[in-house]
Amino acid sequence: MKSALPISAVALLIAIFSYTPAATGSHKTDATLLRQLEADFMKAAAEKGSRGYMSYYAEDAVELPNGADAIRGKENIAKTMGFLDQKDNSLTWVPDYSEMAASGDLGYTYGTYEFRAIGKDGKPVVEHGKYMTAWKKQKDGSWKVALDMGNSSPSPKS
């Protein structure tokens, strides 16, 4: 009897941590979906500027900008994204890693970004950085950005 308790406890833990609910509908519940969301998100930003970018944000999203206070709510975040509408500005990013929760309703990505613009002096400006985005499945089945943050990094070494 003494050894039955630990084996039962181990079996229970294995069952709990290995349980993954089946996917509903045609939605994938793995990290591949998150990488596709990132690609679609970047394409929307490139094609439609701030409107395309913000179309991927949840209404209650939070943005954690580099060197500034948190911005809460899609409407407030949108007020800071006008730089995406300027003709010579370009924001691109590449996820290095993505992971989906076993529940299939929450995931995150992180990677690197590059922002290109023309400075006030008329010369090209390039900023590099890293980012992390938390994605949350919405009640309607769509995926939206729940939290996004980025901070600058030195230029990558060639």
What's the pLDDT tens digit per position in 107-141?
999 999 999 999 889 999 999 999 999 999 999 99
Cβ neighbors of 53 (< 8 A, separation 6 or more) are 41, 44, 45, 81, 84, 91
Query: What confidence score (pLDDT) does residue 24 get?
Result: 42
Percent of the chain with pLDDT over 70: 81
Query: What confidence score (pLDDT) does residue 128 get?
Result: 96
Mean pLDDT over 143-153 rounds to: 95
* Closest residue by Cα to residue 107 from 71, 141, 146: 146
CATH of region 29-153, choose from 3.60.20.10, 2.40.50.140, 2.30.40.10, 3.10.450.50: 3.10.450.50
Query: What confidence score (pLDDT) does residue 106 get?
Result: 96
Please give the mean pLDDT across all residues of the chain.
85
Residue for token pair 């939605």: 27
Q: Does position 158 have pLDDT exceeding 80, yes or no?
A: no
Domain coordinates of the chain in residue numbers? 29-153
What's the pLDDT tens digit per position in 38-53?
999 999 999 999 999 9
Q: Does position 28 have pLDDT exceeding 80, yes or no?
A: no
pTM: 0.78
What's the burial of 123, exposed, middle or buried (CB within 10 Å: 0-12/13-18/19+)?
Answer: exposed
Query: What confidence score (pLDDT) does residue 29 get?
Result: 52
What does the alpha-carbon distance between residue 147 and residue 155 come to, in Å, rounded to a whole number?
25
What's the burial of 57, exposed, middle or buried (CB within 10 Å: 0-12/13-18/19+)?
Answer: buried
Q: Does position 76 have pLDDT exceeding 70, yes or no?
A: yes
